[in-house]
A and B are shown apart, each in its own frame.
Chain A
């Protein structure tokens, strides 16, 4: 399953993206299933981005912003959390498990945190199976 698994991670360039970068520098490995999309702030993410990721074949989506209180734009990470909650509600209405989307907070110096998040999402997909859309999307 893992070679077909696709996890989309919307990463804030200040925290999560740097954390992923640092993990690379420190040679901490994480699943190659993750596709990182760098965003200027997690608060940039809208429900629509999350839905579109699923329609494009993602099995899970996560949004990673800075630690609460550390957002470079004051409250972008809080906005992101609300968006993720909204997406969870919408996904379950649609018929997709809400656990396939999650919000995380990461600081740029937490090299271990990014691989941990990827691991968490991989294990969720392992448990839930590939996206139910995979069967129908050509």
Chain B
């Protein structure tokens, strides 16, 4: 289902969605009109992504669009919101009042360029950042210290990604098949060693969130419970994030 439709469903259920808009399937015209539509319908948060290549999906033969990339998408959306114009220069009667986000993968290469690229995303308009799933906490901490050094944590809200592991198979699949995902062998070994993988998966996820909370500059987490969405409330409660703490 499209992110637009699912965001709307979330909204109707009383949740505040983050709508994902990828450049793979839509050109700049479609993305801008979707943004206006989303804003008009009350969707407030938009995550700008290039999008996973269609080769990883179930319709590999499709032609991709990639008219623009995620950074250019941010640039266009920010222009629409702050300058009240579409990219072609025409004035908008009403600017889309949206909160713009981007993704970043602290575990991708070239390592020394990742933080610089995060800076580009923030310059282009990103106000919040959702990172790729964090399994390797040391590498994530190193990345965060570079982020702090450049002062980027003060310019955008960084939300670390966490994934509760449901099974050994899922963990192995993510380690080998999912682009940009880095899972240390120790994580796989820990999963392998236990009998009740699911409760261990939750435990590890909660631990991860606790570790992440102590890292300076991180403003939150986003839980990617892939094909295991029903576990989210349990994780949120166990980490003391629900009911919402007063900060």
Indicate yes or no for A touching B, C-beta below 8 A.
no
Interface residues of A (CB under 8 A from B): none
